[in-house]
Amino acid sequence: MNIFLLILIISTSLSLISIIYNKKFFLSLLLGLESILLNLLIFNFIITFTQETTPLNAFSIFILTLSAIEASTGIAIITLINRNFNESNIYSLNTLKN
Protein backbone atom coordinates (compact mmCIF):
# COMPACT_ATOMS: atom_id res chain seq x y z
CA MET A 1 0.00 0.00 0.00
CA ASN A 2 2.82 2.37 0.77
CA ILE A 3 4.30 1.92 -2.71
CA PHE A 4 1.02 3.12 -4.28
CA LEU A 5 1.01 6.23 -2.14
CA LEU A 6 4.65 6.89 -2.98
CA ILE A 7 3.91 6.56 -6.70
CA LEU A 8 0.93 8.93 -6.36
CA ILE A 9 2.96 11.51 -4.49
CA ILE A 10 5.78 11.35 -7.05
CA SER A 11 3.43 11.57 -10.03
CA THR A 12 1.53 14.48 -8.49
CA SER A 13 4.75 16.37 -7.80
CA LEU A 14 5.93 15.68 -11.36
CA SER A 15 2.64 17.03 -12.67
CA LEU A 16 3.08 20.21 -10.63
CA ILE A 17 6.63 20.59 -11.91
CA SER A 18 5.31 20.08 -15.44
CA ILE A 19 2.75 22.84 -14.97
CA ILE A 20 5.35 25.20 -13.52
CA TYR A 21 8.01 24.69 -16.20
CA ASN A 22 5.92 23.97 -19.33
CA LYS A 23 3.93 27.16 -19.62
CA LYS A 24 4.49 27.62 -23.32
CA PHE A 25 1.48 25.75 -24.68
CA PHE A 26 -2.05 25.57 -23.36
CA LEU A 27 -2.35 21.83 -24.05
CA SER A 28 0.61 21.00 -21.82
CA LEU A 29 -1.04 22.91 -18.97
CA LEU A 30 -4.26 20.99 -19.49
CA LEU A 31 -2.43 17.66 -19.48
CA GLY A 32 -0.77 18.57 -16.19
CA LEU A 33 -4.09 19.51 -14.64
CA GLU A 34 -5.69 16.29 -15.88
CA SER A 35 -2.84 14.30 -14.39
CA ILE A 36 -3.28 15.99 -11.01
CA LEU A 37 -7.02 15.32 -11.02
CA LEU A 38 -6.46 11.70 -12.02
CA ASN A 39 -3.94 11.27 -9.19
CA LEU A 40 -6.42 12.80 -6.76
CA LEU A 41 -9.11 10.41 -7.97
CA ILE A 42 -6.86 7.36 -7.57
CA PHE A 43 -5.77 8.54 -4.13
CA ASN A 44 -9.39 8.97 -3.14
CA PHE A 45 -10.23 5.44 -4.36
CA ILE A 46 -7.34 4.00 -2.36
CA ILE A 47 -8.45 5.79 0.80
CA THR A 48 -12.05 4.70 0.20
CA PHE A 49 -11.13 1.02 -0.19
CA THR A 50 -8.88 0.96 2.84
CA GLN A 51 -11.28 2.74 5.19
CA GLU A 52 -14.54 1.52 3.57
CA THR A 53 -16.36 4.83 3.80
CA THR A 54 -19.16 5.86 1.45
CA PRO A 55 -18.92 9.68 1.56
CA LEU A 56 -15.58 9.48 -0.23
CA ASN A 57 -17.22 7.50 -3.05
CA ALA A 58 -19.48 10.47 -3.75
CA PHE A 59 -16.45 12.75 -3.67
CA SER A 60 -14.74 10.48 -6.23
CA ILE A 61 -17.69 10.89 -8.59
CA PHE A 62 -17.53 14.66 -8.06
CA ILE A 63 -13.80 14.68 -8.91
CA LEU A 64 -14.43 12.61 -12.03
CA THR A 65 -17.20 14.99 -13.14
CA LEU A 66 -14.99 18.01 -12.47
CA SER A 67 -12.21 16.44 -14.50
CA ALA A 68 -14.52 15.82 -17.47
CA ILE A 69 -15.84 19.38 -17.35
CA GLU A 70 -12.31 20.80 -17.18
CA ALA A 71 -11.17 18.68 -20.11
CA SER A 72 -14.11 19.57 -22.34
CA THR A 73 -13.82 23.28 -21.54
CA GLY A 74 -10.07 23.26 -22.16
CA ILE A 75 -10.42 21.45 -25.48
CA ALA A 76 -13.14 23.88 -26.55
CA ILE A 77 -10.89 26.84 -25.71
CA ILE A 78 -7.95 25.29 -27.58
CA THR A 79 -10.17 24.67 -30.61
CA LEU A 80 -11.47 28.23 -30.65
CA ILE A 81 -7.99 29.71 -30.28
CA ASN A 82 -6.57 27.53 -33.04
CA ARG A 83 -9.49 28.26 -35.33
CA ASN A 84 -9.35 32.02 -34.86
CA PHE A 85 -5.60 32.66 -34.45
CA ASN A 86 -3.91 29.52 -35.89
CA GLU A 87 -1.69 29.28 -32.80
CA SER A 88 -1.73 27.59 -29.41
CA ASN A 89 1.23 29.42 -27.93
CA ILE A 90 0.29 31.09 -24.67
CA TYR A 91 2.76 33.95 -25.05
CA SER A 92 1.20 35.07 -28.32
CA LEU A 93 -2.33 35.23 -26.92
CA ASN A 94 -2.11 38.93 -26.11
CA THR A 95 -4.27 39.42 -29.20
CA LEU A 96 -7.22 38.08 -27.21
CA LYS A 97 -7.24 41.22 -25.07
CA ASN A 98 -8.38 43.38 -28.00
Q: Where are the domains of the chain?
A: 2-97
Question: CATH assignment of 2-97, given 3.50.50.60, 3.90.1110.10, 1.20.1250.20, 1.10.287.3510?
Answer: 1.10.287.3510
**CB contact set of 97 (below 8 Å; sequence gap of 6+):** none
The Cα 43–Cα 5 span in angstroms is 7
pLDDT at site 46: 82
Q: Torsions phi, psi of 86, nearest 5? A: 60, 30
Q: Which residues of 24-56 are buried (b: 16+ CB within 10 A; e: fewer)?
A: eebebbbbbbbbbbbbbbbbbeeebeeeeeeee
- Give the model confidence (pLDDT) of 28-58 as tens digits: 888 888 888 888 888 888 888 788 777 777 7
pLDDT at site 97: 61
